[in-house]
């Protein structure tokens, strides 16, 4: 498929453990976004990557959260020392960037993270 791919689709872990979530964007999409969606709530922006520019990390809720992206490919979101309030769906999106600006964001189906 040509869509945004996220793995794992579900993750259950114990409080205090580290977790790593993966996002494979659509080929050719230089912009990549991570969002968090808590139950019954809208999407909350976490971090934005665009090409080789410094990422916009302004949405990361604490220093336990970090993300990396190598070039214009895969991104990983890492949560260290997980807490129960980290339980949520983590969504990744990617988009093309053109002369008219960023184009529509295409979303993956997310990783459902549950912290016991």
Residue 62 in the binding site for other proteins (CB under 8 A): no
- State in angstroms the smallest separation of the CB of 84 from other proteins: 21
The dihedrals phi and psi of 85, each to the nearest 5 degrees, come to: -70, -5
Q: Determine the interface stretch with other proteins among 17-25, 41-49, 66-74, 75-83 (rule: CB under 8 A).
A: 41-49
Q: Quick one: tokens of 51?
A: 């090409």
Residue 103 in the binding site for other proteins (CB under 8 A): yes
Which of these, 89, 54, 59, lies nearest to 69 by C-alpha position? 54
Residue 54 in the binding site for other proteins (CB under 8 A): no
- State in angstroms the smallest separation of the CB of 30 from other proteins: 12
Q: What gap in Å lies between CA 66 and CA 48, rounded to an integer?
A: 12
Q: Kindly state the greatest CA–CA separation across the chain.
A: 46
Could you say which residues in the range 12-31 bind other proteins, by CB under 8 A? 31
Residue 2 in the binding site for other proteins (CB under 8 A): no
Q: Phi-psi category of 71—alpha, beta or left, where left has phi over 0 and alpha has psi -120 to 50?
A: left
Q: Where does this chain bind other proteins (CB under 8 A)?
A: 4, 31, 33, 35, 40-45, 48, 56, 59, 91, 93, 95, 97, 100-110, 112
């Amino acid at each position: 498929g040509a869509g945004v791919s996220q793995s794992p689709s579900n993750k259950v872990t114990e409080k205090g453990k580290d977790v790593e979530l993966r996002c494979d964007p659509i080929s050719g999409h230089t912009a990549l976004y991570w969002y968090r969606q808590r139950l019954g709530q809208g999407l909350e922006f976490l971090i934005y990557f665009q090409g080789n520019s410094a990422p916009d990390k302004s949405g990361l809720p604490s220093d336990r959260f970090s993300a990396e992206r190598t070039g214009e490919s895969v991104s990983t979101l890492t949560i260290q020392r997980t807490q129960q309030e980290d339980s949520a769906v983590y969504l990744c999106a990617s988009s093309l960037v053109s002369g008219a600006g960023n184009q529509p964001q295409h979303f993956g189906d997310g990783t459902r993270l549950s912290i016991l």
